[in-house]
């Protein structure tokens, strides 16, 4: 039986690679006790800001068996999104790299569903669900448990081979598969991410104050941007990659090969004037199926107006 399960795991990982995933690991679907304790402490400290949804379904966040009946294994996958292109105008408002192309939710979940279909066809009837930042699942915790990387000081999952520019997804399934071993941490004494954060959002290794995070403020935060953000936001209009850009492990990042993640050339070439003159029609042209729709046109304009006002007061 053990040999058969090892064979199943090998088949799953091979198919995951064929689908374009850059990593695949397996962990037992058990209670996340330590992670649950840290999450509870983080929420009680109010470090999640106005992301009230983080307080919901706490039991499901730490126990996958409450999401999938009879769950026995969590199959975690990584999908590279590091781009080969850059925005051509260095003065233009900056998008986070993950938002260049099609919304990752569609891409990763579609591939996960294909992986689950493959499992049903090649192994037998398996009940499971696909997740990608779309339900109460602690993605990074499961990826770390499955040996795909370690949690860095900036709270992102890091890998020795390719850094941290990847999406994380899971299949929670009711088949018992051999679990992979976690890997050790390789951050050492490095604190480049902590020192580089312009707002001091990284309070300590693996302790993030979302209320100070540029990604949170430009995407999740719905009120007016706080005055203290002036001259700290740089030119970032949606998300922030600073703590990843300075990470030494991301020197190993290589461009993805997923066409759906490639940006529209027109978007990459937009000038500052074109950005600030954007209307809803242009927004829909470039961001119809983009993760930027999470913020929406009104919020993107709020961010653009803040940048413009910030520049006028320098």
> What angle is formed at CA 36 by the lines to CA 56 and CA 295, rounded to 5 degrees?
45
**CB-based contact 105:79 (threshold 8 Å):** no
Tell me if residue 133 is catalytic: yes
Q: Residue 163: which region, alpha, beta or left (left: phi > 0; alpha: psi -120 to 50)?
A: left
Q: Give the pair of three-digit tokens for residue 228.
A: 């203290």
Burial zone of 219 (CB within 10 Å; 0-12 exposed, 13-18 middle, 19+ buried)? buried
Name the strand (E) or helix (H) holding 181: none
* Strands 202-204 and 128-131, bridge-based pairing: unpaired
SS3 content of the chain, % helix, strand, coil (to 5): 45, 15, 45
Catalytic residue among 34, 63, 103, 133: 133
SS3 of 122-180: the string is: HCCCCCEEEECCCCCCCHHHHHHHCCCCEECCCCCEEECCCECCEEEEEEEECCCCCCC
**CB-based contact 220:293 (threshold 8 Å):** no
The residues near 135 (Cβ < 8 Å, ≥ 6 apart) are 60, 67
Active site (catalytic) residues: 133
């Amino acid at each position: 039986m053990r040999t058969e399960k090892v064979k199943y795991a090998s088949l799953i990982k091979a198919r995951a690679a064929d689908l374009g995933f850059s990593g695949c690991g397996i962990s037992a679907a058990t209670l996340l006790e330590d992670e649950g304790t840290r999450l509870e402490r983080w929420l009680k400290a109010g470090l999640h800001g106005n992301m009230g949804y983080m307080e919901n379904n706490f039991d499901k966040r730490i126990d996958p068996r409450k999401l999938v009946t009879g769950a026995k294994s969590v199959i975690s996958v990584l999908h590279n999104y590091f781009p080969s292109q850059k925005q051509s105008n260095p003065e233009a408002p900056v998008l986070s790299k993950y938002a260049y192309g099609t919304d990752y939710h569609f891409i990763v979940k579609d591939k996960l569903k294909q992986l689950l279909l493959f499992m049903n066809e090649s192994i037998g009837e398996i009940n499971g669900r696909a997740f990608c930042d779309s339900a109460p699942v602690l993605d990074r915790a499961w990826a770390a448990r499955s040996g795909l990387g370690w949690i860095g000081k900036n709270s992102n999952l890091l890998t020795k081979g390719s850094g941290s520019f990847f999406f994380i997804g899971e299949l929670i399934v009711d088949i018992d598969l051999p679990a992979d071993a976690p890997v050790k941490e390789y951050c050492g004494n490095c604190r480049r991410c902590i020192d580089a954060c312009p707002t001091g959002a990284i309070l300590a290794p693996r302790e993030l104050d979302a209320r100070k995070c540029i990604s949170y403020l430009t995407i999740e935060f719905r009120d007016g941007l706080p005055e203290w953000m002036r001259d700290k936001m740089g030119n970032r209009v949606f998300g922030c990659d600073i703590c990843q850009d300075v990470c030494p492990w991301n020197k190993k990042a290589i461009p993805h090969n997923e066409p759906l993640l490639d940006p529209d050339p027109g978007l990459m070439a937009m000038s500052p004037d074109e950005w600030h003159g954007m209307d809803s029609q242009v927004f829909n042209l470039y961001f119809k199926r983009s993760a930027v729709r999470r913020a929406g046109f009104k919020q993107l304009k709020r961010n653009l107006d803040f940048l413009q006002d910030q520049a006028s007061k320098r």
